[in-house]
Amino acid sequence: MKGWIVLASMAAAWGAPVEFNRDVRPILSDKCFLCHGPDAKNKGIPLRLDVEAEARQRAIVAGDPDRSPLIRRVTADKPGLRMPPVHSGLKLTDREISTLRSWIAEGAVWEKHWSFLPPKRHTPPAPGHPIDAFVKARLDREGLGFSPEASRETVLRRAALDLTGLPPTPAELDAFLADRSPNAYEKAVDRLLASPRYGERMAIRWLDAARYADTNGYQFDGERYMWRWRDWVIESFNRNQPWDRFVIEQIAGDMLPNASRDQILATGFNRNHRGNTEDGLVPEEYAVEYVVDRVETTSAVFLGMTFGCARCHNHKYDPLTQKEFYQVFAYFNNIPENGRAMKYGNSPPLIPAPTADQQQRYDALNAQLGEVEAFLTSQEPAIAKAQQKWERSLAAAPPVWWTQPLGLDSAFPLDNLADLKAPAGSPAFAPGKLGQAARFDGAAYLEAAGAADFDIEDRFTLSAWVYADETPDGPVVTRMSDGPQGKGFGLHLDKGKVHVHVTSSYVTDALRMESEESLAAGRWYHLAWTYTGSRMAEGVRVYVDGRPAAMKTLAETLYRPLGNAGRRFKEPVRIGGGWGEKRRFRGMIDDARIWSRVLDAEEVAALAAGDALHSLAAIPEARRTPAQARQLRASFLEHAAPGRIRDAWTRATALRREREALERSFSTVMVMQESPVQKATHLLIRGAYDKPGERVEPGLPDFLPPLPAGAPNNRLGFAQWLIDPGNPLLARVTVNRFWQMYFGTGLVKTVEDFGLQGEWPSHPELLDWLATEFIRTGWDVKALHKLIVTSATYRQSSAATPGLIQRDPENRLLARGPRFRLPAEVLRDQALAMAGLLTEKLGGRSVMPYQPDGLWGELIMQDQEYVQSQGPDLYRRSLYTFWKRTVAPPMMVNFDAANREACVVRENRTNTPLQALNLMNDVTFVEAGRFLGQRMMREGGRTAESRLRHGFRIATGRTPRAAELDVLTGSLRYHLDYFSGREAQAEKFLAQGDSPADPALPRRELAAYAAVASLLLNLDETVTKE
């Protein structure tokens, strides 16, 4: 193993003094703490080696290794005495034992774990760029030096791919090469940082960390809508939101004073976890899983800690107790959510999240409406006068009832059968509340097709007048399967109580509520039920005689739509029926109405007044209720007002309708919300949801600093604690993750674990300097990026020598520039960019680019189909690709994208044959190759050579060398020959993909260029950040 860089035991190699944190603790942690660590007590083991006092007392004699029980036991000859024991499967190497010896011999100095101490700002060891000073100091110690600076083309391409995820265009390259000013590179970096593509590039990795996806995961994996949160992330990066704000808003934006909609929306971060909708699940079990996921994600992303390990027992390595885990858990547990997620769509709590465009339209509509309303107000004297005249005329006219027309879905006056069906015989019609009413005998009922076509997420209002001779009982207005406990929704009476329900499955999947009070027999009541589509009890209002009724919730588990599994829900509306033949309504029903919107209390009150216009008009103006006045006014404006006024009214109505439709089109986003009363959190024994132990309050682990002064002990306080400059982890963990993006490996390689099992930093002083600098600049993210990419360290050539590869295969010492295969998203995006196909549009709903047929169908259950996008949406950047958790986009999977099941912060790169097949044969790349070939022919001049040069430059950012050009020329010649006389084959080859080939170009030649362009897209250099 000679020559490998093994950072943990570097000390021995240097002959330098042993450092506890760097050299010793990793050995103890990895080989001893499993038993002699924080969880020792629970295992009945008396000795802890993670506690200094205990170790000194019982295992270590400072200065004397031979008398230290620790050394004796790890070197014992007898297998029964030797540590670690055989059954543990752990073994100490000779070098590790000698490190322990040296440490004890040198006095056994103990230190607190480095990452739990605040970063120390060391003065850079040399003038110049601080990053270079720190890196060079380390290289000097190793007897190595920097590599020369990479060519200008290479550096620009590297920076462009890192900062925007797209390669520089030939024009950008030319401009950069032509700019001879000393700050040319800095200007180029500023341009890249200012590009909207920058935010998209940065968002990619954040989406991995935040386990963002477009579906719920688990088994059914229905669609959800979190893209508004994704767009918020992109915008935050683009406007260079300071990192501390970025963090606090995502953790607790909803709890900030006067939280804006964007700040609430940001908390979607902790709702991106999966949601289980399986039919038979136990909701309490998954409610726990969601909170655990929040704790695991939050600790990994912001603290670089694996808190999740302490869910079932004390952490084996880090000083985190199980109780402390549940104290942190309590911060994220106080959200009104159900363990069973909604089968389709978002699960509460959620908020409407209009896009900027939608908001603009909404504001414009409101402004227009305001104008019209102001006009009507200005006409008040004229209106009042005209209305009085009209009111007088009503006395002579036949009675008319007015109801709100806005959003009216259907109206059933029930004066006669009209076009209703009466499958069990017609009810009688008798004088009712408004004209005639239908009298039901317990057998008859009425049916209307095509009305109330609502599902569980739609808003609606149902209303009717009812009269019963005996205890009011039976269905009033329903749309449900006609049997007891049927599927659908309905307004019923149940032994006098008003009963409303939306039911997918009576017991397990329904929203059912009933009134506290009972209705009496022998009088008319007006009933109205409004439902916001929230699927929750809070979305339901029931009014009796225009007054809100107190309601009791019987079931609140609705999650499956009525039109489930691709089947339409076909039931008609029934009046007086909808619970089967044994339970039909007895009594009278009059004037049933259905709206596709939620009527407000005043509107319902007006309905319930139930007066014909002439009788309203007969009431002296001063004695009319507001509802009565409003009804008369609306009716007058609608039917009898003079021209200009009536037009204004009509326009106001149209605007309101438009606004209503717009509101309905807003996507929602799932967000965090605090329950008004703190939910009790218990320690869960062995992590099991059904084994609560002692009750715990929100709190932080002891080994980290306490809450900052004045911070509340809740989620907001937790967020304030995260961003407090006294927190030793946030800045370090963040700069380290960005470092990983640039150099392929973090300064701490275990980007997700800064705990005791994490790796010692390759450049500890640099890490701390960057962390303190990040805080010093006000958490300025763009400044941090600029600092890194302008360093000489970053700009080195990535060419290596065999010796250097042997010495430092992972380039941890940074004696050369970074060189590694581009991430999945960037590979596809750059191919589209090189082809000239990329659609540069920021944000919006996720899209479905090319994907082999049938991938979803093979695995999923029902009614989910991959419907390929059309036109420009085929060529959006990859972070907009629809991410279905159970069947992730195959190219992303092939190229090691994070799985989006749970938080992933470590980048992972493999090199496989499936990747080769993907880049050669996936229609995405075949089509991109064709378009790149087309560009070579159109833009690359007249000769084959100039065209090949052009293509090569688009792909790699540089001009080909003669030998390279020879190979490309040979390839082009070969393909020209190959397609010669094979017109049909060339046609087929050119027909791949939705965008047609330029008909002006000769087919054989285009096919040959397309083939060579595909080769260019597959070059190692093209797929590599060099």
The only residue of 263, 493, 1014, 1025 in contact with other proteins, by rule CB under 8 A = 1014
Binding characters for other proteins, 951-990, by CB under 8 A (x = yes): ----------x-xx--xx-xx--xx--x---x-xxxxxxx
**Using the rule CB under 8 A, which residue among 92, 255, 291, 800 binds other proteins?**
800
Helix (H, G, I), strand (E, B) or coil at 53: helix
Distance CA 210, CA 905 (A): 9
Beta strands 474-480 and 540-544, pairing class: unpaired
Name beta bridge partners: 695: 682
From the CB of 901, what's the least distance to other proteins, in Å? 4
Task: Point out which span in 247-255, 560-568, 585-593, 918-926 binds other proteins (CB under 8 A).
Answer: 918-926
Position 265, amino acid: L
Which residues lie below 8 Å from residue 431, measured CB to CB, with a gap of 6+?
A: 437
Give yes or no for residue 921 binding other proteins (CB under 8 A): yes
Going from the C-alpha of 661 to that of each of 224, 458, 654, 725, the distances in angstroms are 21, 12, 11, 47
DSSP notation for 576-591? S-SS-TTS--EEEEEE
User: For residue 821, which of 748, 907, 714 has the smallest C-alpha distance?
Assistant: 907
Work out how close the CB of 1020 gets to other proteins at its nearest, in angstroms, rounded to a whole number: 5
Minimum CB separation from other proteins for residue 833, in Å? 21
Buried b (16+ CB within 10 A) or exposed e, 407-442: bebeebbbeeeeebeeebeebebeebbbbbbbbbeb
| CB closer to other proteins out of 33 and 402 | 33
3-state secondary structure of 341: coil
Q: Which is nearer to other proteins, 445 or 952 (CB)?
A: 952
Residue closer to other proteins by CB (options 593, 975) is 975
- The Cβ of residue 711 has, within 10 Å, a number of other Cβ atoms equal to 15
**Exactly one of 470, 702, 994, 1020 binds other proteins (CB under 8 A); which one?**
1020
Three-state DSSP class for residue 803: helix
**Residue 995 binds other proteins (CB under 8 A):** no
For residue 885, the minimal CB distance to other proteins (Å) is 7
Minimum CB distance to other proteins smaller for 394 or for 733: 733
Give the nearest distance from C-beta 329 to other proteins in angstroms: 16
Which lies closer to other proteins via its Cβ, residue 298 or residue 667? 298
Give the rounded distance of the alpha carbon of 179 from its chain centre: 41
**Of 105, 923, 976, 1001, which lies in the binding site for other proteins, with binding defined by CB under 8 A?**
923
At which residue do the structure tokens 């949160």 appear? 229
Closer Cβ to other proteins, 716 or 813, answer by number = 813
Of 54-62, 197-205, 644-652, 1010-1018, which segment contacts other proteins by CB under 8 A?
1010-1018
Closer residue to other proteins (CB): 586 or 812: 812
CA distance 268 to 245: 15
CB of 116 to other proteins, least distance (A): 15
| Contact characters 804-843, other proteins, x per CB under 8 A | xxx--x---------xxx----------------------
439 token code pair: 């009298």
Which CB atom, from 29 or from 596, has the smaller least distance to other proteins?
29
Nearer to other proteins, 236 or 277 (CB): 277
Smallest distance from other proteins to CB 541, Å: 28
Interface with other proteins (CB under 8 A), residue from 781, 822, 860, 997: 860
Instruction: State which of positions 284-343 bind other proteins (CB under 8 A).
Output: 289, 306, 309, 316-318, 340
Q: Which stretch, 154-162, 564-572, 673-681, 1009-1017, contacts other proteins (CB under 8 A)?
A: 1009-1017
Question: Measured from the CB atom, is 125 or 970 closer to other proteins?
Answer: 970
Q: Is residue 886 part of the contact set for other proteins (CB under 8 A)?
A: yes
Q: Does 406 bind other proteins (CB under 8 A)?
A: no
**CA–CA gap between residue 369 and residue 461 (Å, rounded):** 24
**Bond before 349 cis per omega within 30 degrees:** yes
As a whole number of angstroms, the distance between CA 749 and CA 767 comes to 12
Which range touches other proteins (CB under 8 A), out of 152-160, 162-170, 534-542, 888-896? 888-896
Q: In the bound complex, what is the minimum distance in angstroms from residue 663's beta carbon to other proteins?
A: 33
Q: Which of residues 73-112 bind other proteins (CB under 8 A)?
A: 87, 89
End-to-end CA distance of the chain: 28
Report CA-CA distances (Å) from 419 to 414, 415, 446, 448, 588: 10, 11, 10, 8, 19
Closest CB 8 distance from other proteins, rounded Å:
7
Q: Which of residues 687-716 bind other proteins (CB under 8 A)?
A: 690
Count of Cβ atoms closer than 10 Å to residue 2 Cβ: 4
Of 553, 908, 946, 959, the one binding other proteins (CB under 8 A) is: 908
Angle subtended at Cα 113 by Cα 109 and Cα 119, rounded to the nearest 5 degrees: 110
In this chain, which of 98, 368, 471, 899 binds other proteins, going by CB under 8 A?
A: 899
- Residues from 191 through 250 that contact other proteins (CB under 8 A): 217-221
Q: How far is the CB of 927 from other proteins (least distance, A)?
A: 9
Nearest Cα residue to 950 out of 969, 941, 393, 295:
941
How many residues of this chain interact with other proteins, rule: CB under 8 A? 115
Site track 502-541 with other proteins (rule: CB under 8 A), x = hit: -----xx---------------------------------
Nearer to other proteins, 232 or 925 (CB): 925
> How far apart are alpha carbons 656 and 963 in whole angstroms?
70
Q: Reduce the secondary structure of 453-472 to three states and give it as a string.
A: CCCCCCCEEEEEEEECCCCC
Q: Does 912 bind other proteins (CB under 8 A)?
A: yes
Contact between 281 and other proteins per CB under 8 A: yes
Q: Does 280 bind other proteins (CB under 8 A)?
A: yes
Q: How far is CA 535 from CA 346, 557, 754, in A?
A: 11, 8, 42
In the bound state with other proteins, the residue whose beta carbon lies nearer, of 673 and 851, is: 851
Closest C-alpha to 278, from 267, 266, 289: 289
Only one of the segments 55-63, 380-388, 829-837, 846-854 lies at the binding site for other proteins (rule: CB under 8 A); that segment is 846-854
Q: Provide the CB-side half-sphere exposure for 164 (13 A, CA).
A: 22
Question: At closest approach, how far in Å is the CB of 808 from other proteins?
Answer: 12
One DSSP character per residue, 69-134 reads: HHHHHHT-SSTTT-SS-GGGT----HHHHHHHHHHHHTT------GGGSPPP-PPPSSSS-HHHHH
Alpha-carbon gap, residue 796 to 798, rounded angstroms = 6
Rounded to a whole number of angstroms, the minimum distance from the CB of residue 870 to other proteins is 21
| Range in contact with other proteins (rule: CB under 8 A) among 527-535, 579-587, 693-701, 922-930 | 922-930
Q: Which are the contacts of 33, defined by CB distance < 8 A and separation ≥ 6?
A: 49, 50, 316, 317, 756
Residue 378 is inside which H or E element, if any? Answer: helix 356-378
CB of 100 to other proteins, least distance (A): 17
Burial 553-572 (b: 16+ CB within 10 A, else e): eebebbbbbbebeeeebebb
| 177 part of the interface to other proteins, by CB under 8 A | no
CB of 682 to other proteins, least distance (A): 19
- Considering only residues 340 through 369, tell me which ones interact with other proteins, judged by CB under 8 A: 340
25-64 footprint of other proteins as x/- string (CB under 8 A): ----xx----------------------------------
257 vs 254, 260, 261, 350, 497, CA distance in Å?
8, 9, 12, 19, 42
Cα 963 versus chain centre, distance? 48
